[in-house]
Chains A and B, each alone.
Chain A
């Protein structure tokens, strides 16, 4: 009969590789795009200079009076546009509304004139490198930006996927500590390697601000 420790060992090990296998593709995406974001000079991954732009104007029905978000959603429905709304400027005129709609690979700059019953739309399409770049940072919110909130259901789902991946990574790290500690023969060298990692990382997290 297995002891409680054996059962815990087994499920701790399973948790480690089950999480790793489930999140494999998410991890590869964020690891690879992290590398790309750290090296903006890598020419092969350029996407902004290679973007395709087009503009068009469409007649619109002025949306009913209401909040900016409700009016923007009404306009998006009329224009057949979906994505995360981004407010680029404060609104000063109740008869006009300007905003950006974005999703990985596409952006729409929309300027609606309710008086003229027309909307001018600039569409930007990005290549595959642009798509993977934006997936890394596509959260709908920014620190120190109170103007913008997540307002598209798929952005929320993607943000939850990011949370889940981060939590999965934390659990994988914790489970790996336990598995290593159970290997008595590897404890000494493992402790040295782990201490080196914590020292190098700790220098940046807290050491530099304390030393300077």
Chain B
């Protein structure tokens, strides 16, 4: 009786957790094709109209800041410009006293050229498309620029969701193995396939590494 109840609970959790993360699994799976083949369909970015802004309130010593401190100082400036998103690698063109700030939202990249002496900026949005959005989500937040990554609240939320997807995938695969073992008629075929998968996997990894 207890075993039956355990089986039913595991089956329901497998179903509902699986349904919840299925869109996330699709995002990660579909973007694999783009990343593995360096192929971004419909990627001809459409530049929007540039706009200019002046008399911006800038934090003092902005030109001397670097790393996370600079990102934190730039956030209120971007708020004044109405630009939201994850701030990427900022280029500092000292001779022209300009900071070139890429700000990414999945599917859109805005470039802000901030001239910090007069306190003016040019804002150029670019629509990068759904395929690029999937790639960005697949790689976000990722291992690079660790000191500044996650400077936008939605990137931190996505990191949490991506982590949750992994933990739930691990639960679903473990619970799936349990549900399969209950099906006696399928044990042999399943075992053969799992063994074939293990040989393919370890064989390929061995060949790649040696």
Whether both chains belong to one complex is answered with: yes
A contacts, CB < 8 Å to B: 14, 17-18, 20-29, 31-32, 34-35, 37-38, 40-41, 103-106, 131, 133, 135, 138-139, 141-145, 154, 157-159, 161-163, 165-167, 169-170, 173, 176-177, 180, 183, 186, 189-190, 193-194, 196-198, 200-202, 204-206, 208-209, 212
Known: A21-B194, A26-B197, A208-B154. A177 touches B84 (CB 8 A): no
How far does the alpha carbon of A206 sit from the alpha carbon of B22 in the complex, in Å? 17
Known: A17-B190, A41-B146. A25 touches B201 (CB 8 A): yes
Contacting residues, chain B, for A166 (C-beta < 8 A): 29-30, 32-33, 36
How far does the alpha carbon of A194 sit from the alpha carbon of B20 in the complex, in Å? 5
B189 sits at the interface (CB 8 A) = yes
B55 sits at the interface (CB 8 A) = no
How far does the alpha carbon of A26 sit from the alpha carbon of B53 in the complex, in Å? 50
Partner of A105, one of B18, B24, B161, B209: B209
Is A197 a contact partner of B20 (Cβ separation < 8 A)?
Answer: yes
Q: Which of B161-210 contact A (CB under 8 A)?
A: 161-163, 166, 169-170, 173, 176-177, 179-180, 186, 189-190, 193-194, 196-198, 200-202, 204-205, 207-209
Render B1-35 as a binary contact track against A, CB cut-off 8 A, 1 for contact.
00000000000100110111111111111101111
Pick 6 A–B contacts, CB within 8 A, sort by A: A25-B197, A37-B142, A133-B143, A162-B36, A180-B19, A204-B154
Interface size on B, residues (CB 8 A): 71
Contacting residues, chain A, for B28 (C-beta < 8 A): 34, 169
Partner of B107, one of A194, A196, A198, A209: A209
Partner of B180, one of A21, A32, A162, A209: A21
Known: A104-B208, A173-B22. A209 touches B36 (CB 8 A): no
Is A197 a contact partner of B19 (Cβ separation < 8 A)?
Answer: yes
How far does the alpha carbon of A45 sit from the alpha carbon of B173 in the complex, in Å? 23
Render B85-121 as a binary contact track against A, CB cut-off 8 A, 1 for contact.
1000000000000000000011110000000000000
Known: A131-B209, A170-B30. A143 touches B142 (CB 8 A): no
Partner of B108, one of A25, A38, A209: A209
Is A27 a contact partner of B173 (Cβ separation < 8 A)?
Answer: yes
Is A209 a contact partner of B173 (Cβ separation < 8 A)?
Answer: no
B38 sits at the interface (CB 8 A) = yes
Partner of A17, one of B18, B24, B35, B180: B180
Closest residue of B by beta carbon distance from A155: B208
Is A31 a contact partner of B127 (Cβ separation < 8 A)?
Answer: no
Is B22 a contact partner of A176 (Cβ separation < 8 A)?
Answer: yes
How far does the alpha carbon of A22 sit from the alpha carbon of B190 in the complex, in Å? 8
- Total of A-B residue pairs, C-beta within 8 Å: 191
Is A25 a contact partner of B198 (Cβ separation < 8 A)?
Answer: yes
Secondary structure call for the B interface: helix
Closest residue of B by beta carbon distance from A35: B166
Is A38 a contact partner of B141 (Cβ separation < 8 A)?
Answer: yes
The 6 closest A-B pairs by CB, nearest first: A209-B107, A201-B23, A166-B32, A25-B201, A141-B38, A22-B197
Output the least CB separation between B116 and chain A (Å): 24
B135 sits at the interface (CB 8 A) = yes
Is B161 a contact partner of A190 (Cβ separation < 8 A)?
Answer: no
Contacting residues, chain A, for B37 (C-beta < 8 A): 141, 159
Contacting residues, chain A, for B202 (C-beta < 8 A): 25
Known: A25-B202, A27-B173, A212-B85. A40 touches B137 (CB 8 A): no
Contacting residues, chain B, for A23 (C-beta < 8 A): 197
B134 sits at the interface (CB 8 A) = yes
B77 sits at the interface (CB 8 A) = no
Is A209 a contact partner of B105 (Cβ separation < 8 A)?
Answer: yes
Contacting residues, chain B, for A105 (C-beta < 8 A): 209
Is B208 a contact partner of A103 (Cβ separation < 8 A)?
Answer: yes
Most chain B beta-carbon contacts within 10 A, residue among A133, A144, A194: A194
Is B34 a contact partner of A143 (Cβ separation < 8 A)?
Answer: yes
Output the least CB separation between A97 and chain B (Å): 24
